[in-house]
Amino acid sequence: MHTLFPILEQDTPYLNHAAVGPWPRVTAEAVQAFADENMRHGSANYFKWLEREQELREMLARLSGAPSADDIALLKNTTECISAVAWGLDWQPGDNVVLPAGEFPSNRLPWLAQSARGVTAREVDIRAAEDAEGALIDAMDSDTRLLTVSSVQWADGFRLDLERLGAACRERGVLFFVDAIQQLGALPIDVEACQADFLAADAHKWLLAPEGIAVFFCREEVRPRLQLLQQGWHMVDRFWDFDRTEWPVSKTALRFEAGTPNSTGQAALHASAGLLLEFGIDRVSAAILNNTDRLMTELPRIDGICLHSRTEPARRSGIVSFRHDSIAPATLYQGLKDRGISCALREGNVRVSPHFYQGERELSVFLESLAHIV
Ligand SMILES: Cc1ncc(COP(=O)(O)O)c(C=O)c1O
């Protein structure tokens, strides 16, 4: 693992994949090779870049369960994916969109902004509800056009039952958007099984690739319902063919990619996604949930530490958050940081998020450091 993940050479663990994931060696090497190629040959091998891009779409379709690589667009970030839907839909005044309260701003602000078009955002407190999915479903009525959720919540890792939500949406003719940034690359997800119409995720967290590239799944049947926000040369089939007078918009998800893509990001994500697929997402997920299990067992044994994340197996993910009953969260966080541990402070809790390639040693160093601080 140390060869594949040089970050493991550090004495102290990096437990912050829910923020930004470190690159595996193959990813850094792919970027270095692409830099070298650009430096020496410019775009002489452009058609090879296109082949890699197509392979990448296929890999992302496999990771997300998308029926076809044609359903995958490579956009810049989650906000751009969400905005393509929030601003692209033909809302009618009086429509509403349902979402959990406390969503990350990227999955909140674009929906709230639709108030300018007469759309109400219904924010549901899923943590106060005994049945989180039931509360979201109950909040839908005949004016609901779309339900949007982060499949794993950013601050505490609370995981939602996507299949139940998707089935309820389909039954009511409501569109279903999944922000999967805290799940894709960590836990299996299947847009077919959960009947999602849209899925979005950046590459820079659990997918272990750079910032600035994101996957956007858009179901074939709903694509024509979205008005396109940008127009450009790249959103047509065979966009490299400049000897044409007509530029008909592609029927595939390429229609969302108006201009020149992030080819460096593609080279990197191709390497990272390849590694995750090679390892197998089931093995990745088992290792992550094993880490979560250990954290959830051992953290409460440390004096004064209380878990904030929910412990029921169905709610677990790669994120565990906690606090201390008397030490301020910022002090706790700073104490860990001073000991070289990368984690995050989110909504008054310390958040740790180890990935599959970490385990026994990294968690022990973290738990021992924490025990020293309190
Ligand atoms: C649930 C969730 N959505 C979206 C984002 C990031 O959004 P964007 O890609 O637009 O920066 C994050 C980042 O932490 C997140 O946790």
Among protein residues, the one whose CA lies closest to atom 14 of ligand 1: 19
Calculate mean pLDDT across residues 16-28: 98
Pocket test for ligand 1, best of 104, 189, 319, 353 (most atoms within 8 A of CB): 104
Q: Is the CB of 183 under 6 A from ligand 1?
A: no
pLDDT tens across 314-363, in order?
999 999 999 999 999 999 999 999 999 999 999 999 999 999 999 999 99
Mean pLDDT computed over every residue of the chain: 97
Statement: residue 54 has pLDDT above 90? yes
- Which of ligand 1's atoms lies nearest the C-alpha of 78? 9
Q: Is the CB of 109 under 6 A from ligand 1?
A: no
In the chain, % of residues over pLDDT 90 = 99
Confidence of residue 310 (pLDDT cuts 50, 70, 90): very high
Q: Is the CB of 107 under 6 A from ligand 1?
A: yes
Q: What pLDDT score does 2 carry?
A: 81
CA 20 to CA 38: how far, in whole Å? 26
Give me 223's structure tokens. 């694509």
CA 304 to CA 319: how far, in whole Å? 20
Q: What pLDDT score does 155 carry?
A: 96
Q: Is the CB of 154 under 6 A from ligand 1?
A: yes
pLDDT tens across 227-257, in order?
999 999 999 999 989 999 999 999 999 999 9
Q: How far is the CA of 177 from the centre of ligand 1 (A)?
A: 14
Q: Residue 165's closest CA among 126, 203, 110?
A: 126
DSSP one-letter string for 107-174: GTHHHHGGGGGTPEEEEE-TTTSSSHHHHHHHT--TTEEEEEEESB-TTT-PBP-HHHHHHHHHHHT-
pLDDT tens across 157-184, in order?
999 999 999 999 999 999 999 999 999 9
Strands 120-124 and 144-150, sheet pairing? unpaired
pLDDT tens across 117-149, in order?
999 999 999 999 999 999 999 999 999 999 999
Q: What pLDDT score does 346 carry?
A: 95
Helix axes 263-279, 46-64, angle to 10 degrees: 40
Q: How far is the CA of 80 from the centre of ligand 1 (A)?
A: 11
């592609």: which residue's tokens?
250
Among protein residues, the one whose CA lies closest to atom 8 of ligand 1: 78
- Which of ligand 1's atoms lies nearest the C-alpha of 107? 3
Q: What pLDDT score does 92 carry?
A: 96
CA 329 to mean position of chain CA atoms: 26
Which distant-in-sequence residues (6+ apart) come within 8 Å of 270 by Cβ? Answer: 30, 52, 55, 56, 59
Give me 259's structure tokens. 């201009």
Q: What pLDDT score does 1 carry?
A: 86
Q: Residue 250's closest CA among 266, 233, 263, 265?
A: 233
Q: What pLDDT score does 160 carry?
A: 98
Pocket test for ligand 1, best of 75, 78, 206 (most atoms within 8 A of CB): 78
Q: Is the CB of 79 under 6 A from ligand 1?
A: yes
Q: Is the CB of 153 under 6 A from ligand 1?
A: no
- Which of ligand 1's atoms lies nearest the C-alpha of 76? 9
User: What are phi and psi for residue 352, nearest 5 degrees?
Assistant: -115, 145
Q: How far is the CA of 78 from the centre of ligand 1 (A)?
A: 6
pLDDT tens across 62-97, in order?
999 999 999 999 999 999 999 999 999 999 999 999
Region of 43 on the Ramachandran plot (φ > 0 left; ψ -120 to 50 alpha; else beta) = alpha
Q: Judge whether 262 and 212 are in contact, CB under 8 Å.
A: yes
Q: What pLDDT score does 33 carry?
A: 98
pTM over 0.75: yes
Q: Is the CB of 78 under 6 A from ligand 1?
A: yes
Among protein residues, the one whose CA lies closest to atom 13 of ligand 1: 19
Q: Residue 228's closest CA among 211, 249, 201, 197?
A: 249
Statement: residue 36 has pLDDT above 90? yes
- Which of ligand 1's atoms lies nearest the C-alpha of 79? 10
